[in-house]
């Protein structure tokens, strides 16, 4: 290997090491040592059929073709570590509403994800801070970081669960932005090709999907089944 190639490999290796210095590293493919010990250390293998969407990050972390590491494509990303889920009979204040423990499928230090009684698209879920915060401006920095790290993890999981490669992520922050529940929350909506005739119609549907007397709410049983399936997946 010529000196220039050696320097390039060294730089790439150092970059990968720095990227992986966070609390959790997500990796593509099988690796030596995967298993219980890896999970205890916070390593979670990611199997994503839509690798094309992530090619730019894979290539950035992949050494040149003539090295032995070329098959160990590495993607590293911080995620908010999961905590035990609440009991089914637990209650959480969500603005003027109440979220029951049986609807929660993921929980971190400052945030939780839960299923909805009315969805814009299949797989539409919410992520909210555990503490009552009306607007993003009211949140502490650790709460805000946890909220969006959790949202990122939930987005990835919902895309894999539903077999899609795109999502709409939305926050309506304040009444003039369409916020109807006075508690910060992030909408995670898996998107499919042609799920709306015009792609931007989803914004109008988001504003109106849970308003009016004609809304067809999902049953508690339907929501519990979805939450149970997601708990097993996450």
Which listed residue (110, 124, 183, 185) is catalytic?
A: 185
CA–CA dist 172, 14 (Å, integer) = 40
Residue 175: C-alpha distances to residues 120, 148, 157, 182, 193 (Å):
19, 21, 29, 8, 30
DSSP 8-state class, residue 68: T
Largest pairwise CA distance in the chain: 72
Question: Comparing C-alpha atoms, which of 127, 133, 97 is closest to residue 188?
Answer: 127
Active site includes 185?
A: yes
CA–CA dist 58, 51 (Å, integer) = 9
The two three-digit tokens of residue 113, written as one number: 């994800």
CA–CA dist 228, 234 (Å, integer) = 10
- CA 93 to chain CA centroid, nearest Å: 22
Q: What number of residues does the chain have? A: 234
CA–CA dist 177, 114 (Å, integer) = 22
3-state secondary structure of 156: helix
CA–CA dist 64, 1 (Å, integer) = 11
Q: Catalytic residues, which ones? A: 185
């Amino acid at each position: 290997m010529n000196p220039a190639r050696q320097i390039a490999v060294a730089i790439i290796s150092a970059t990968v090491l720095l990227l992986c210095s966070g609390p959790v590293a997500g990796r593509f493919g099988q690796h030596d040592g995967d298993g219980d010990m890896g999970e205890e250390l916070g390593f979670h293998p990611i199997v994503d059929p839509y690798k094309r969407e992530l090619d730019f990050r894979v290539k950035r972390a992949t050494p040149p073709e003539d090295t032995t590491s070329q098959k160990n494509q590495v993607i590293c990303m911080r995620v908010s570590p999961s905590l035990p889920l609440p009991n089914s009979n637990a209650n959480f204040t969500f603005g003027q509403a109440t979220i029951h423990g049986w609807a929660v499928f993921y929980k971190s230090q400052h945030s939780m994800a839960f299923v909805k009684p009315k969805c814009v698209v299949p797989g539409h879920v919410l992520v909210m801070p555990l503490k009552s915060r009306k607007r993003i401006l009211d949140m502490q920095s650790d709460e805000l970081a946890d909220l969006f790290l959790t949202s990122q993890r939930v987005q990835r999981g919902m895309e894999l669960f539903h077999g899609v490669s795109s999502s709409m992520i939305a926050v309506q922050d304040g009444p003039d932005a369409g916020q109807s529940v006075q508690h910060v929350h992030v909408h995670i909506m898996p998107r499919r090709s042609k799920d709306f005739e015009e792609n931007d119609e989803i914004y109008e549907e988001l504003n109106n999907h849970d308003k009016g007397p004609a809304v067809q709410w999902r049953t508690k049983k339907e929501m519990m089944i979805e939450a149970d399936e997601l708990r097993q997946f996450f």
